[in-house]
Amino acid sequence: MEEMNNFLFAGCDTVELAKKYKTPLYVMSEDYIIERCAEIREDFLEKYPRTMAVYASKAFLTKEMARIIKREGLGMDVVSGGELYTAIQVDFPMDKIIFHGNNKTMEELELAIKNNVGRIVVDHIEEIDLIEAIAQKHDKKVNILFRISPGLDIQTHKYIQTGQVDSKFGIPLTETTIERAVTKALNMKNIELLGFHFHIGSQLLENDTHIKAIRIMTNLMKDVKDKYGFITKELNTGGGYGIHYVEGERRKSLSYFTDSIMEEVERSCQEYGLERPLIIIEPGRWIVGEAGITLYTIGAIKEIPGIRTYVSVDGGMPDNPRPSLYQAKYEAVVANKVDEEPTEVVTIAGKCCESGDILIWDLKVPQVERGDILAVLSTGAYNYSMSSNYNRIPRPAVVMLKDGKDRLIVKRETYEDLLRNDL
């Protein structure tokens, strides 16, 4: 039977999905997303009192994704007015929203404060004045956390490090800077300082850097208590938990990270005589990364004898800029030949007018031909959300799978969509 030779994802035949919806096509598994959310509830929220989990929506956000997170009872972290507006449009509980960003505009802060977001994470000291002014105008009390740069260098690509000393994110961990920030916040009438936030980077496969950061942050909590009598009510430990992209990487269980975080928080708080605050985590990629694949149709095949064979697909950099941005690596299968033995090594090239538009170098595949369907794995995070219209290529559709059934959640863009705002 021909369909037995096709790649199944979340119980669905990917070749049939490609026929039905055309390619390129983003395919997401709701079943997988729900499994990860259940793991968060069981191994973190229900296991430890005074905890909160929010989905880092920059990884993948559509109205339907926001509805799923809402149904699963998690909060959401947003980093722009557009992400916040998406949440507002599906009546997401605003008290469960955390608003991040290193340069929030006045319009974005206005939208957040008018809609009563649960917390704003302050990234620089001047932002306190902006929040206070808007909060006064609307007669609101705004909860804030300070994003602290804990000064840790970590083993990941430099473009996804965020907690080092030289970072565009957060308030540097120097005595005078922290002193100014805390003093200023405590003197504001319309601001309630709840605590601190840190995020050290993305695609982390070990927990040691989180533990180091916790030690630094609990030391800060002790300092501000001693100097100002300020009791830290909340500590947001960020996310960054890694997933499987290629051989040698493996998604760890949530508890691998959260158990060590909670143990270190409890130990350090006890040592410093502090009450343990509410602990927040912000997984994004960990929830959706492996929940997604992207389907392409193979077109031109160009063999350069003795050097390389380029196999081109009908997408590339516009639907997945990560390989071009920071050399991200992926695995893939030829969906209609999944049971066939790999016999050759090829390079998967995108269709953009860019030499850097290469999706995968040196992929082992069976003999391929024009019209074959390629499934690139683990594309649920930072693919759709980072997509563009470079070369005036319309963005792909997004399909959600649940219980072996497919449904369209984002329509494929048309050429008319590309021109919609042109004058």
Peptide bond preceding 24 in cis form (omega within 30 of 0): yes
- Encoded amino acid at 253, one letter: S
Contacts with 123 (C-beta within 8 Å, 6 or more apart), sequence order? 100, 101, 102, 103, 104, 147, 169, 170, 171
Alpha-carbon torsion 266, 271, 276, 282, what sign? Answer: negative
CA distance 393 to 334: 23
- Tell me the DSSP string of 128-165: HHHHHHHHHHTT--EEEEEEEE-----SS-GGGB-SSS
Q: How many CB atoms neighbour CB 370 within 10 A? A: 11
Active site residue 353: yes
Q: Which of 388, 387, 384 is nearest to 28 (CA)?
A: 384
Q: How far is CA 344 from the centre of its chain?
A: 34
Active site residues: 353
